[in-house]
């Protein structure tokens, strides 16, 4: 290969053709004799113009050497070229470089390959020199254009780097390495590529220290797709919140009966209560007004009666068996509550809390009255444990006894003096035997219910004794004291439209008790029986004792043989009649007014 450009053949005492011939031999990697080396070196030292020409020729030679690596490493050629220019930037060092190469250069495999071709000498070399120089110039133009457009890649980070001006180290001629080794080191001194699939043998690190990089042209970075950093990543849409299972609201009890102003309490809200409405677990009930009343029924038939002026909250039914399971429970804030509690699990008793204490019930009939500063418990049946919050003491209260939880008061079970007993026809209070009596709704009756014997029933024959008496009656159960005279008052009327005096009589039987005036109609058993006649005196509800309300000299009374649970039965002797209440009183000795519904302290 011929690497030279047109050189003036005229030199000062130097044969120009001879010098060009030696230069072509030298650049081709040929072996010059010592005499030829001295001749070439002397010509370069003597002729400045020749040095400039041949220095340009040596630059072209460096470009051609670097172009062989351009295809495999796009960044190597411009760097080698820049280093070559830095080492040859003046004529003086150019001569030193040639001297070094003439004296120390060893042949590499690349140069051995080139050395196989010998440049022609004489006139033939001159004829080949001009076309070679033209081809070299075109090749140089192409290489420089390619280097300017794609020879230098932006840094992996895509950061714009401005050219620096580091001091260029000028190596001594004696220690300058061969061009091939210099190019390899220049490539190794560059930062590693972002992703190199497999290292090449020529990329192995050189143990010698790397030379400072020459100034690089300013490069406008081209962004490359890259994985965004986590802190710069676009905000991901929030994950949907896990579905929260809706809590199932269970019905703890049912409103069986509602009168007057009654409302369901749920937190701070109050909604009108309706009969048949379910009370959800945790809800409560408030009853107001002079005639307010509500009855609550649990699934196990436990029944609560809430009188006017009463408020209860946090009502729950019994929990399913398990760890920490609890029984029925509620909080009685104020007022009066009567409960007929069905048998409860021993480990889950019903608990009624008040501001002053709590009652634990397994199965009984009780009454709680909450007033400012005290809670009074009355037990009609069974046994109830009452706890006082002020000191933590407990008291067992049996049937017929009461206890009061209040700070500073005597805390013990005491006998309950029963002076007033009001029996109303309510499902939990009355038991119907046979077909005579029916429980019906009547807005005129206190509580809205009444006992009725229809017109179709035939009149019973007089003179029948107990053995012949029909087995159909209405039965009441209640608590009463022994040895105490209770006046008997019945509130009712005859509903017949004609022959009213013929169809207006009922009979009462006191089990384990005696009336002050016996009924001869029942023979020897007459002391436990009483006739209530002349209900035809009223077109609507009114009180009567045993005969006409205005002619009775004194009311008939009843006395029980023992204290505790008592039973009173009603028989229909003549019909049709309707009964709204039976009142046994130790204090009411005169006929009550017709519009009075019972004892002054009792509204129900």
How many whole angstroms separate alpha carbon 118 and alpha carbon 113? 11
Are 348 and 460 found together in one domain?
no
| Distance from chain centroid for Cα 328 | 29
Are 319 and 431 found together in one domain?
no
Q: Which of 159-163, 200-204, 370-374, 504-508 has the highest mean pLDDT?
A: 370-374
How many whole angstroms separate alpha carbon 488 and alpha carbon 583? 6
Residue 51's pLDDT is what? 73
Are 403 and 473 found together in one domain?
no
DSSP secondary structure string, 54-118?
Answer: HHHHHHHHHHHHHHTTTTT-TTHHHHHHHHHHHHTSSHHHHHHHHHHHHHH----HHHHHHHTSP
Are 338 and 456 found together in one domain?
no
- Domain extent, residue 281, equals 251-416
- Report yes or no: 41 and 98 within 8 Å, Cβ to Cβ: yes
- Report yes or no: 411 and 388 within 8 Å, Cβ to Cβ: yes
Average pLDDT, integer, range 83-101: 59
Q: Is residue 174 part of a domain?
A: yes
- Report yes or no: 294 and 272 within 8 Å, Cβ to Cβ: no
Mind listing the pLDDT tens digit for each residue in 43-86? Answer: 877 777 777 777 766 665 655 555 445 444 444 545 544 555 55
What global pTM score does this model have? 0.44
Q: Around Cβ 550, how many Cβ atoms within 10 Å?
A: 8
β partners of residue 439: 451
Dihedrals phi, psi of 291, to nearest 5 degrees:
-115, 20
Q: Is residue 160 part of a domain?
A: no
How many whole angstroms separate alpha carbon 36 and alpha carbon 564? 149
Residue 548's pLDDT is what? 61
Q: Is residue 483 part of a domain?
A: yes
Are 351 and 494 found together in one domain?
no
Q: Which of 416, 450, 472 is where one domain is finished? A: 416
Q: Is residue 425 part of a domain?
A: yes
Count the alpha carbons within 13 Å of 263 in the hemisphere toward its beta carbon. 14
Helix (H, G, I), strand (E, B) or coil at 525: helix
Helix (H, G, I), strand (E, B) or coil at 147: helix
Q: Is residue 352 part of a domain?
A: yes
Are 180 and 266 found together in one domain?
no
Is it the case that residue 117 has pLDDT exceeding 50? no
Q: What is the CATH number of the domain that holds 350?
A: 2.60.120.1440
Helix (H) / strand (E) containing 240? none
Q: Which of 381, 416, 451 is where one domain is finished? A: 416
Q: Is residue 580 part of a domain?
A: yes
Mind listing the pLDDT tens digit for each residue in 391-429? Answer: 999 999 998 899 999 988 899 999 888 899 999 888 888
Mind listing the pLDDT tens digit for each residue in 272-328? Answer: 999 999 999 999 999 998 889 999 999 999 999 999 999 999 999 998 888 788 999
Residue with the bigger pLDDT between 15 and 461: it is 15
The owner of tokens 């029986």 is: 529
How many whole angstroms separate alpha carbon 106 and alpha carbon 109? 10
Dihedrals phi, psi of 261, to nearest 5 degrees:
-90, 100
Are 471 and 397 found together in one domain?
no
First-to-last alpha carbon distance for the chain, in angstroms, is 131
Q: What is the CATH number of the domain that holds 544?
A: 2.60.120.260
8-state DSSP, 281: T
Is it the case that residue 594 has pLDDT exceeding 80? yes
Mind listing the pLDDT tens digit for each residue in 439-480? Answer: 999 988 877 899 998 865 555 544 444 434 467 899 999 989
Are 453 and 385 found together in one domain?
no
Q: Is residue 35 part of a domain?
A: yes
Q: Which of 393, 416, 439 is where one domain is finished? A: 416
Are 34 and 151 found together in one domain?
yes
Helix (H, G, I), strand (E, B) or coil at 157: coil
- Report yes or no: 586 and 486 within 8 Å, Cβ to Cβ: yes
- Report yes or no: 450 and 442 within 8 Å, Cβ to Cβ: yes
Residue 433's pLDDT is what? 92
How many structural domains are present in the chain? 3
Are 257 and 361 found together in one domain?
yes
């Amino acid at each position: 290969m011929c690497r030279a450009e047109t050189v003036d053949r005229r030199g000062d005492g130097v044969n120009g053709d001879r010098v060009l011939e030696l230069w072509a031999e030298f650049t081709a990697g040929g072996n010059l004799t010592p005499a030829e080396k001295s001749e070439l070196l002397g010509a370069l030292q003597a002729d400045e113009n020749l040095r400039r020409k041949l220095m340009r020729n040596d630059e072209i030679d460096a470009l051609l050497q670097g172009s062989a690596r351009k295809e495999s490493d796009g960044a190597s050629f411009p760097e080698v070229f820049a280093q070559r220019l830095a080492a040859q930037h003046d004529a003086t060092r150019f001569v030193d470089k040639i001297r070094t190469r003439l004296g120390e250069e060893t042949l590499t495999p690349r140069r051995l390959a080139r050395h196989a071709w010998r440049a022609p000498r004489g006139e033939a070399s001159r004829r080949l020199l001009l076309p070679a120089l033209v081809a070299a110039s075109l090749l140089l133009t192409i290489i420089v254009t390619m280097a300017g457009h794609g020879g230098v890649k932006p840094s992996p980070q895509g950061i714009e780097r401005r050219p620096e001006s580091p001091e260029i180290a000028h190596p001594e001629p004696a220690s300058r390495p061969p061009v091939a080794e210099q190019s390899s080191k220049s490539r190794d001194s560059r930062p590693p590529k972002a992703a190199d699939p497999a290292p090449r043998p020529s990329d192995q690190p050189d143990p010698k220290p790397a030379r400072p990089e020459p100034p690089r042209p300013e490069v406008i970075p081209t962004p490359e797709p890259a994985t965004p950093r986590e802190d710069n990543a676009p905000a991901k849409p929030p994950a949907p919140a896990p579905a929260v299972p809706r809590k199932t609201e269970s019905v703890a009890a049912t409103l069986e009966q509602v009168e007057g102003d009654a409302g369901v309490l749920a937190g701070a809200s109050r909604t009108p209560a309706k009969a048949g409405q379910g009370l959800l677990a945790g809800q409560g009930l408030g009853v107001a007004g002079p005639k307010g009343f509500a009855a609550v029924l649990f699934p196990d038939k436990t029944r609560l009666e809430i009188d006017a002026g009463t408020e209860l909250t946090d009502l729950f039914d019994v929990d399913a068996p398990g760890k920490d399971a609890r029984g029925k429970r509620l909080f009685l804030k104020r007022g009066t509550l009567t409960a007929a509690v069905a048998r409860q699990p021993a480990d889950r008793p019903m608990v009624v809390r008040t501001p002053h204490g709590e009652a634990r019930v397994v199965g009984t009939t009780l009454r709680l009255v909450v007033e400012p500063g005290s809670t009074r418990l009355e037990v009609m049946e069974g046994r109830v444990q009452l706890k006082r919050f002020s000191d933590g003491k407990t008291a067992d209260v049996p049937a017929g006894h009461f206890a009061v939880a209040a700070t500073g008061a005597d805390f013990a079970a005491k006998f309950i003096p029963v002076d007033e007993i009001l029996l109303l026809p309510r499902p939990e209070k009355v038991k119907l035997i046979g077909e005579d009596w029916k429980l019906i709704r009547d807005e005129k009756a206190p509580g809205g219910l009444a006992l009725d014997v229809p017109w179709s029933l035939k009149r019973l024959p007089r003179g029948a004794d107990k053995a012949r008496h029909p087995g159909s009656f209405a039965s009441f159960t209640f608590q009463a004291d022994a040895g105490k005279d209770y006046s008997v008052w019945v509130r009712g009327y005859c509903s017949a439209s004609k022959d009213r005096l013929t169809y207006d009589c009922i009979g009462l039987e006191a089990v384990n008790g005696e009336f002050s005036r016996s009924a001869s109609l029942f023979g020897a058993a007459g002391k436990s029986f009483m006739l209530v006649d002349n209900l035809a005196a009223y077109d609507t509800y009114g009180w009567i004792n045993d005969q006409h309300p205005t002619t009775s000299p004194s009311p008939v009374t009843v006395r029980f043989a023992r204290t505790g649970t008592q039973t009173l039965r009603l028989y229909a002797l003549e019909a049709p009649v309707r009964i709204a209440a039976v009142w046994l009183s130790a204090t009411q000795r005169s006929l009550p007014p017709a519009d009075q519904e019972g004892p002054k302290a009792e509204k129900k």
